[in-house]
Amino acid sequence: MTSIADDRIARRNVKVLVAAQAILGSQMPISFVLGGLAGQYLAENKFWSTLPISLIVLGSMLTAPVMSGIMQKYGRRTGFVLGAAGGAIGAILATVALWVGSFQLFLLGSVFTGIYMSAQGFYRFAATDMASEEYLPKAVSWVMAGGLLSAIVGPQIVKLTQAAMDPIPFVGSYLAIVALNVVGVSLFFFLDIPKPKKPEAGESSGRTRREMLRDPRIVVAIIAAMVSYSLMNLVMTSTPLAVVGCGFDTNTAANIVSAHVLAMYIPSFFTGNLINRFGVEKIIGLGLAILGGAGLIALSGVELINFYGALILLGIGWNFGFIGATTLLAESHTPQERGRVQGMNDFLVFGMVTFASLSSGGLMNSNGSAEAGWATVNLAMVPLLTLAFGALIWFVINGKKRN
């Protein structure tokens, strides 16, 4: 870890990564907003309409260890440029697929979009590479805060471009994604993050993955990230179905999801300060408790206040839990180990998110009514929250010292 005097470089890197999150990151809201709609337009069997979204997440999961290894060997810039290339190729394939009416080609494009999503996931880790111990949680928070800008910009691009190539829908939006990648990739040439030094002859290259999984800090960080992200995805994915199924209109569902997205990112402006003041374990625990509170509010009724309250708390809980987990992981490994541990972390996290995404629709439709399905979705949070709380409590009591 660098000294506080070196944070000038870290702060510059954070500014670059925030800009990348805002510009390049805007393609993710576009892809998630349009993925199901384009799937419905292209798929003969509408049951598979949301498969493109699941394949984006699956592509991210499968690519994470590879992307992390590339960054370890060739540097962050190389990995991020490859991610932008993946995003551009995915959007080009999606454009052609819409033009020729090929659902299979659109699915292939979704997998390439997952390559970008995987690279974007490492922005938060790149922010820590040159940061001092004091600045580290703030660096993670600021980069995550850039997601607020992308969450605002992305949907606006959809509104401006989705009908630009009528009568074929959404082509203009996917061409806009190509432009975002072409323009945004230049940002990475302003990063100042040296490649990790190769170990000298006889010098250790760090722990193996198996050895790192015996480190309580790493295990708890991974579990907290998996639970925070997957539960957020599980409930958020079901929300539009639940809101509309309970008698409200689509615009209301969109407003509730917008409130949720704001709650995900606005706390990032102070989460790092909270971690420095109270400690990372307490902030992770608070995040998990807030996620539990979201479930309780959702289970207490299906009025608008319940939906808004649950989704706002869901966003705040995700923010504290996920940023806390990222900070704990970043504090738990050496530069030589980061390629292995960060790739393993994101593989497991997005694997769980993929499972949550695929499970969400099934749980919503498991009990015959929207109210019952919504209750089932929120009850499904209980075992995972129990696991994460149990691991965190064990760590605080017994495992705080690094192996």
207: which residues sit within 8 A by CB, 6+ positions away?
A: 215, 333, 337, 340
Q: What is the pLDDT of residues 324-343, one digit of tens each?
A: 999 999 989 888 888 889 98
Residue 114 one-letter amino acid? G
Residue 299 lies in a domain: yes
Report how far Cα 66 is from the mean position of its chain's Cα atoms.
17
Are residues 262 and 119 part of one domain? no
Residue 170 lies in a domain: yes
Are residues 253 and 108 part of one domain? no
Q: Nearest 5°: CA angle at 135, between 205 and 123?
A: 60
Are residues 186 and 235 part of one domain? no
pLDDT of amino acid 1: 45
* 65: preceding bond cis by omega (within 30 degrees): no
Backbone angles phi, psi at 175, to 5 degrees: -65, -35
* Length of the chain (residues): 403
Residue 198 lies in a domain: no
Q: Which of 131, 163, 191 is the last residue of a domain?
A: 191
- Indicate the DSSP class of residue 195: P
pLDDT of amino acid 143: 93
* Number of domain units in the chain: 2
Question: Whose CA is closest to 241, among 307, 185, 193?
Answer: 307
Query: C-alpha distances in angstroms, 144 versus 16, 290, 297, 321, 400?
Result: 13, 19, 26, 13, 26
Question: Whose CA is closest to 328, among 391, 269, 266, 260?
Answer: 391
Are residues 250 and 391 part of one domain? yes
Are residues 177 and 217 part of one domain? no
Enter the tokens of residue 133: 């111990």
- The whole-angstrom separation of Cα 117 and Cα 109 is 13
Are residues 150 and 72 part of one domain? yes
Q: What is the pLDDT of residues 172-229, one digit of tens each?
A: 999 999 999 999 999 999 999 988 777 666 566 788 888 998 899 999 999 999 999 9
Place of tokens 């209109």: 249
pLDDT of amino acid 403: 45
pLDDT of amino acid 46: 73
Are residues 274 and 247 part of one domain? yes
DSSP letters, 162-182, are: TTTTTTSTTHHHHHHHHHHHH
220 lies in which domain range? 210-398
Q: Which of 191, 219, 237 is the last residue of a domain?
A: 191
Are residues 219 and 185 part of one domain? no
Q: What is the CATH number of the domain that holds 76?
A: 1.20.1250.20
Residue 79 lies in a domain: yes
Query: C-alpha distances in angstroms, 159 versus 82, 163, 169, 238, 403?
Result: 28, 8, 12, 23, 52
Residue 57 lies in a domain: yes
**How far from each other are the two terminal CA atoms of the chain, in whole angstroms?**
18
**pLDDT tens-digit profile, the chain (403 residues):** 444 446 899 999 999 999 999 999 999 988 887 887 888 889 888 778 778 888 998 999 999 999 999 999 999 999 999 999 999 999 999 999 999 999 999 999 999 999 999 999 999 999 999 889 889 999 999 999 888 888 888 888 888 898 888 899 899 999 999 999 999 999 999 999 988 777 666 566 788 888 998 899 999 999 999 999 999 989 987 887 788 889 988 678 878 887 888 899 999 999 999 999 999 999 999 999 999 999 999 999 999 999 999 999 999 999 999 999 999 999 898 888 888 899 899 999 989 988 887 787 778 877 778 899 999 999 999 999 999 999 999 999 886 554 4
Residue 305 lies in a domain: yes
- The whole-angstrom separation of Cα 102 and Cα 52 is 12
pTM, rounded to two decimals: 0.81
Are residues 239 and 184 part of one domain? no
Is there a contact between 82 and 115 (Cβ–Cβ < 8 Å)? yes
Question: Whose CA is closest to 19, among 147, 210, 198, 168?
Answer: 147
Count Cβ neighbours within 10 Å for each residue of 52-91 and write b for 16 or more, e otherwise. Answer: bbbbbbbbbbbbbbebbebbbeebbbebbbbbbbbbbbbb
- The whole-angstrom separation of Cα 377 and Cα 361 is 9
Are residues 217 and 184 part of one domain? no
Alpha helices in 24-135 (DSSP H): 27-42, 51-74, 76-100, 103-121, 123-126
Residue 177 lies in a domain: yes
Are residues 308 and 354 part of one domain? yes
Residue 200 lies in a domain: no
pLDDT of amino acid 400: 56
Are residues 223 and 179 part of one domain? no
